Structure 1
């Protein structure tokens, strides 16, 4: 039908028809219209019959990213191992379909996890783990790793069992929290653990490693930063380059080596960093890079242009000793004149003039900001987005909001204070749509300078969406000092606010929140009760165990489920006898997986996992007795 609404309704009906509709759906998947093919492929995935797999596999190579993305998703929903090789071939694809903000490669990763067989997981780990077995820039990092000596450092031998479990947890957020905890010890023995963290499959964990190297002496972390510079995720590489710039002269040998890398992204990051350090010994290698026309993924400038800009930052007497080709010299002079022209045109735009009303805020550049080409590009883009964000047409505002968050996401972990400050100012706008958009952008930036503007938003009881947006942003910034400001929201008028407050307190992992959570638990019901219990499990403080044990007998089976899981996370031996009783609980817990399909899980399985986490002899015997009775 010509109407997409009719086609969508037909697709929903075919899902209900089930496997008998597969032949017709396969014919539809060959339609010349891309959106018809996409809908048909999506329905085949939701029907979930393995007989459709061979018909879907060719679409993994379709020239249309929308079709490839939908095919990957559908094959994950079907969950047949025969699709694993085809899906794994797309793990490195960065293109994003029009209907999602997730790349095809990330969809492939999720599909392999959904297939869940030993083969699919092996494929995912082999192709996705950076710096281990996957050629390209990751192979360069592996070679770098092989040349590294640990200088006799041994891993911390006395890690608490709970922390060791967190480091090996399948949920990357637990591994991330463990990395932070290990880093804050500042012990030399933590460094091998952090080096292991640079192998993690999740970029956020690797990013956390780089961010937390600040707790160690410079000479001890150069090897880590050298490895991170070659990371296949450019956000990690960019942050490593920034840290090397902060170190300065001691990092020059690493950056000079990287400036000759075969990976253009690594070369460009190194060239840019050498310019920021501005040491005279960099001149020769920068001059050699002037003829490099490769354009890296993180900027529109070629490496040669980056090298030209870097040379301009060296002192005049630093470059005079180098023999310069006349053509190159002319290019540099031309670039200098251009920069001088730009600077002179900005003289009238002084800092004192930059005090616009927040509701008509535009990101005008100061003369100091414009001297950084990359910064200038961000600020011009930001000015345009903010103007559209404050316009009258809803569609344009909505599109601008999405683009602002995309910009913020691209800057995550890079500590761009100028951009972060300008976005943070939008939190004080009188337009709530602008404030909500800014809160989401600030969450992506995870810049702690926004905290003073976010905290007052928590108190705006007349608009629960503002309160929730502020909490989400504070959770991403992940500073424990905000816990006292979030605790009062456990008693908020709006139930959603209460639920999110519990979730965020769990995410922040601060035991200072435990007394307030236990108090709120007494009068809680439904989702809020489950949220508090999950938060207590995430925090993992033994203080909560006696009260949690009582909820293993709650009349709501999903509360029993959440409690068993929480006690397992805490690792509470005193809960074993009560957990043993739940092994014979017949309740099946419905949950929604990442593909939106409802599945069933036995509560007994969750109890087994909790007992495994506790790990004592009594817990293991309880599992063995239960398994033998079900043999």
Structure 2
């Protein structure tokens, strides 16, 4: 279906012109006439429009569909009804779709079709009537459900009654449960949608009269309805049936009561229910497993439950069944610590150990952390890394000795990093600063970073001075660390040291120094001088970083340096400078920018065009005009867009 029913026309067509155009051999003319008929609500065009459903042009059929929907009315319904008999399935489907929307304009004509000799027409009619909320429709459909000789019609009637959801049809649906299975399914689905007490009673009564397959469907429907009234019968079915029906009953009870209310069952019932849930963990269906795990999360305190869940963990694919894996872990957390959970730590299955580690790492209280610490030294490197990160998040002051021990004795980078962050960031143990500082000299970048984070988190003056003392160290990475710390703590206080670092022989130190000055100092003449000085640095990364600072802290003293950057040896520096000049609309640089065009690479030219568009003005527009005829299509397109941007902005100013 299209949405262009308001297709513009040069002038309004008369009724006669529309009817003549609809008879044209030109599909475009016919489409335009159909849209115009829709716009005018022209009922006299309906017979011609409906006849056009026989067209071989989908474009015409779509336009006709739009027109008939918009004009609608009794005549439209009566004219469309015969199209239901069209041999073309696509045309039939379109006519049904239209009638679902407009059939309420002539309900009686649709009702008459329920008694048609052709069962297919009766199916179509009962389908369409399901979209009409009308008492007479309900009555007719109920009669059809009871008396129509064709099973497929009765099936469709039941589905339509489910769409209407009128409690008056419950009795007819009750009778349909004695019909053929195909109809039974639809009737059960309809009762589930109606969801009232009477529906529940009917479904419960039917449990002893239908086949096992239909029992399964009814139980699923009762779970969807969610009435507590059905729980006693469902509990009976746990012992009466096994296999799929028992699984369905389990799921339905958990859905109805909710996991937390399962504890309200009697002791014997609860024990049996738990056993059935354990058995259900052998199922493969992921949805079933998710529901059963929800039930076990509140009643599965027996270690046998933990064991069964861990066995489930062995069978899943952790790379695909991520949601199920998380549900397993969350369920085990709810159950809590027991010997089966601890036994999982020595499993030869990597996923089982991971489940045990993540479960214990998330348990409330000390038990989980004690298990992790108890098994830590025997773990594989991967398990250690996973455990230490969980411990670092969830531990408290009682775990400090454990972390100190591993800070002093571990050789594994991730363990050392977790210990540093726990002791420094979380616990802020200033007394351990000497132990942390020694890791600043680590060759491992992750350990170095974690040590710096931990030391700075202490907010200790002596520690800061020890870090900044590395400004004269032979190692460039340590000098860079000292410079970073100066900027992080107080760039104004350390300004002289930062200025000195601007002459460091290592470019990364100089870059860190200008960033500390640029982002750590308020605007001042001294700061401007340092930024201007940095723009002359031999390293392009230093210059590029400096332009980035200028983009956020622009002032008139910096403009000459940005202009100089337009002739930089590095194109990225040029483009960043152009970006800043455009952002602040520095119109005095337009001539210089224009002079760059002939000798620039395509990427720089595109940035020049973008900059000229931002600055605007006569000179910029003339330069862009010259680029529209460029032999490079990308340059042409960019110049055209830029010119449109300038003219649009001028138009907005005039308004």
Q: TM-score range by the shorter chain?
A: 0.3 to 0.5
Look at both structures and tell me which one has the larger radius of gyration over its CA atoms: 2
**RCO higher in structure (CA 8 A, sep ≥6):** 1
- The structure richer in helix per residue is 2
